[in-house]
Structure 1
Amino acid sequence: MKALSLRDAVGESVLTHDVALPADRIAADFAARYAGVPATSLSRAEPTVRYTATGHRIPVLLGMYGDEDRVRSWLPGLPERSTVDAVAELTSSRIAPEHVTSVPCQQKVSALERLPVLRATPRDAGPFLTMGLVHAGEALSVHRMLVLDDSRIAIWMVPGRQLLALYQRSERLPVSINIGVPPAALVASALSSAVLPAEATKLEMAGALAGAPIRVADGVTQPVRVLADSEIVLEGYLDGTLADEPPPVSLPEFLGYDGESRAGLPVITVTAVTTRRAPAYQAVIGPGREQSVILGLAGALSVALSGTDEDWRLIDDLHFTPAGGGMLTLAVAIRKTSSTSDERLAHIARRIFEQHRFVKLVVFTDPDVNLRNPEDVWWAVTTRSNLGTDCTTFDGFRALPMDPSQAADWRGGRGGTTRTFIDATTPFELFTTTCRSFR
């Protein structure tokens, strides 16, 4: 048994855009026709769409992760609810990757210029790889990567990431960039390394999510592992070479705004490009549902993994909404056990903010609220909280530059270092007199 691959997951449930488009127009077409919040103002799941890029034989896949229910159906090991016991069971069932010698992703030799790498908007710094899963050592993560020419790629590594630490310790770091990977590997790559058990790797966690081992193989030009069931694999190395992204704009970020270009980015020198037979090139448009779903599913597991004490055992479920890009806004269902539970919410919120720096707003609800339904969460905020007394703000946190409201020039920079939680729960002593009529 092997983990579900991208082509197994896509199956027949794919729309085909019947007119070839230039690679720099595909993302805009998908945004206009299919994308939801935060790329557009429409609340909708995204379909999987296959595009043909003018002048390229390899089709482009967009929208594959744009429906949370669809993604959940691919991950038999994913807990229905993110609780202490559920994630403990997940980590205890992790499966080591399987090394194979029959390697689908190495069936054909290709070249970087043959890939239909997208430019999302006319303001982009250039064509970006947006769904390349970078594997080096035990690091497994997705980064924005600007294609500079037919053998060089500039990569932006967020400070604190495992890959950056490896790069800073190495004179020459071999890497593989895996495109079109098994869904479990992609979701596992977004887990926070800081909260994983010391002996656990992301590939093992991917095996737990998939209910089967992720297959890996040796690279053909570098001493590095590749994900054998990928659609496309680039091999290369980082050796301290640097390059700049052309200013002023890089590409759309996951929150729905343009990102800023960066100078002095590490450069990956590409030494090989291999593919499956008849591969597909997978990408995201930036601020669509796809990133929100991937980051949100992994984020909920990461928060649940952050504690095992009595406070964390009050957590009945967790959900990151796409409105916050799957990272900024977190709904937390609390199952209170006594009147003292009312007093623990501030402590839980502060711990979440301290351990997960992207979280900006936490909304606590009761278990009868559907965290995946924004209307239900807002119903709880409206009827179970008074913001003058039930909204608490902490100060002293690091601002997140990707969020415009945390920038120094946003209303004088006020609030950029704050984090807030809303108590939209019923006081414990009122449970029996305040409940939904049909519950």
Structure 2
Amino acid sequence: MSAGAETARGAGQATGADTVRGARQEPVPTGTGVSAGAHPALSLRAALARLRETTPGAVLTRPDPLAPEAVAGDFAERYAGVPAVGVARPEPAVLYTGVAGHRTPVLLGLYGDDERLYDWLPGLPWALTPAAVAALVRAARAPVQVTGAPVQQLTAEGAEVDLRRLPVLTTTPRDAGPYLTAALIHAQDPVTGESSLSAHRMLVLDRDRLAVWIVPGRQLGLLYERALERGGRLAVTVSIGVPPAALVASAVNSRFLPAGLSKLALAGALAGRPLTLAAGRTQPASGLAEAEIVLEGHLDGTLADEALGGAEPGLSLPEFLGYDGRARAGLPVLTVTAVTTRRDPLYQAVIGPGREQSHLLGAAGALSVALSLPQTPALAVQDLHLSPAGGGMLLLAVAVRKERPEADRQLNALAEDILTRHPFVKTVVLTDEDVAIRCAEDLLWALTTRSNLAADTTEWTRLPPVPMDPSQTPEWALARGHRGGIPGRTAIDATTPFALRARTARSFGPGTT
């Protein structure tokens, strides 16, 4: 496990001068572990190499000595975009090779531009139409079990395990402590065969224990509860530095996957080829064979507060929408029994808010919505996009084509269905198909010229709020003078009425020049 201050393993050859202050591009030494013909969908380091090849200035090295508590702040100040800071910019992939007390480089920003995902994942539809998503489901590829996995080149078991040897970041001085933030927990029910693959914030409690926040209703929580009801425990793996296809698939909502389709099989569809798994050495659970690091362990009913040193739970770490999160009491404890790694691993993390997490959540969230769309005969959904302005979750743009006059009356039903099924979506903006919903300015143009907000906004007060959003709290409602309680979630009709489409065509639309 090594990385010098002058080079960064896992990146491709430098081909240009550094354009971002405080970092520099470095040539990659031999022995990076990128196998010949490795596909970027199936390997983090292959994705890094591809990014270096296609966008020479997008993979940077920061060799300056930094404490683990200072790395995230440095990235936020120098490189991060909305909603971490008020700057709209793609984020470079930055390898921090000088993290104090650690030889393993820290990687941030790999997913800081959504075009990278479409380059790496051949199965990811650019336009999320129902037909495109149906084709994706048909292309599902089950994972393959392998031996001699790259991630099992080095192993520490039992008393040798010490999570503090990993460069786990403390994102802000207000955090409860160091958290794993870009790690996937994989588990499988030994009776039903059902599996889960999901990301969770995990606080490092000590050398071999993690406190895991599991959002109620998540598949992992269901498998965990079943294991405890049987009087046993749930074996799991935690993969760090995972294939891009796995990371995107992990954030898709399990409720909307067709029966029998696992997230790992969906990842195979995104990659256009199956992912690989490796059986654990100390647990009856499999980790991602091409990951950089895998923790093996179990959840056995032990609980701990999300705090260190006997403190009361306070704040956790920055959340996706740009504000600090709340720590929780009585979280499940994951006991780690082994750590396996590549010989020269990279430690991947996210800082919470920013373009990187927004793009990951947005791509997976839009897939989830597409998988759940109702049948609306007079409306044809042309695309879906969850904007980074809402952290990739709160603000959903839906481009539609109206087939018949009754489509005008079906817009609210479509929006209500989406808001009901997807509790983190706060605002749905419906646009015509000629609007580039991935372009913030074009979306604002549609809002400005094709809607009157006082008349074209619909509110649903019965839908539950998103409590992490400060504007959806009782305190906010009271301060605003909303005596009727918390305002509901909304939809905005920014489409042209069916009968007026010819009169409001864009001057420079298709066939006009």
Runs of 4+ in 1 over 3 A off after TM superposition: 413-417
Measure the CA separation in 2 of the matches of 1:321 and 1:120.
23
Contact 1:304 1:312 in 2 (8 A): no
- Does residue 1:376 correspond to 2:433, yes or no? no
Shift of 1:112: 1.5
List gaps (5 residues or longer) in structure 2. 1-37, 53-57, 157-161, 189-194, 308-312
Question: What is the count of residue pairs matched by the alignment?
Answer: 439
Structure 2 residue aligned with 1:95: 141
Structure 2 residue aligned with 1:117: 168
Contact 2:379 2:402 in 1 (8 A): no
Amino acid at match of 2:408: D
Measure the CA separation in 1 of the matches of 2:146 and 2:379.
40
- Does residue 1:180 correspond to 2:244, yes or no? no
Structure 1 residue aligned with 2:352: 286
Structure 1 residue aligned with 2:499: 429
Single out whichever of 368-377 and 406-415 deviates more from structure 2.
Answer: 406-415
Shift of 1:417: 5.5
Contact 2:374 2:414 in 1 (8 A): no
- What SS does the corresponding residue of 2:301 show, helix, strand or coil? strand
Structure 1 residue aligned with 2:272: 211
Measure the CA separation in 1 of the matches of 2:66 and 2:486.
41
List gaps (5 residues or longer) in structure 1. none
Shift of 1:113: 1.8
Report percent identity of matched pairs: 59
Measure the CA separation in 2 of the matches of 1:401 and 1:391.
22
Q: 1:268 to 1:417 in 2, by over 3 A?
A: farther
Single out whichever of 108-117 and 363-372 deviates more from structure 2.
Answer: 108-117
- Does residue 1:168 correspond to 2:225, yes or no? yes
Measure the CA separation in 2 of the matches of 1:423 and 1:113.
51
Structure 2 residue aligned with 1:139: 196
- What SS does the corresponding residue of 2:77 show, helix, strand or coil? helix
Measure the CA separation in 2 of the matches of 1:10 and 1:20.
23
Amino acid at match of 1:16: T
Structure 1 residue aligned with 2:21: none
Q: 1:417 to 1:390 in 2, by over 3 A?
A: closer
Contact 1:84 1:312 in 2 (8 A): no
Structure 2 residue aligned with 1:240: 301
Alpha-carbon RMSD across the aligned residues, in angstroms, is 1.3
Q: 1:291 to 1:9 in 2, by over 3 A?
A: same
Measure the CA separation in 2 of the matches of 1:312 and 1:372.
24
- Does residue 1:21 correspond to 2:21, yes or no? no
Amino acid at match of 1:400: V
Structure 1 residue aligned with 2:286: 225
Shift of 1:308: 5.2
Measure the CA separation in 2 of the matches of 1:336 and 1:213.
38
- Does residue 1:10 correspond to 2:61, yes or no? no
Measure the CA separation in 2 of the matches of 1:277 and 1:391.
56
1:380-407 Cα offsets, whole Å, 9 max, x none, are: 0000001121111111111222111111
Shift of 1:159: 0.6
Measure the CA separation in 1 of the matches of 2:72 and 2:446.
36
Measure the CA separation in 2 of the matches of 1:221 and 1:20.
36
Measure the CA separation in 1 of the matches of 2:141 and 2:413.
34
Contact 1:117 1:129 in 2 (8 A): yes
Measure the CA separation in 2 of the matches of 1:297 and 1:266.
29
Shift of 1:312: 8.8
- What SS does the corresponding residue of 1:148 show, helix, strand or coil? strand
Equivalent positions of 1:30-429 (< 5 A) are: 30-52=75-97, 53-110=99-156, 111-137=162-188, 138-171=195-228, 172-246=233-307, 247-307=313-373, 309-311=375-377, 314-412=380-478, 414=482, 416=486, 418-429=488-499
1:406-435 Cα offsets, whole Å, 9 max, x none, are: 112113284636110110011111111111
Measure the CA separation in 2 of the matches of 1:50 and 1:313.
46
Shift of 1:170: 1.1
Measure the CA separation in 2 of the matches of 1:119 and 1:82.
36
Structure 1 residue aligned with 2:5: none
Shift of 1:307: 2.9
Single out whichever of 307-316 and 160-169 deviates more from structure 2.
Answer: 307-316
Shift of 1:310: 2.8
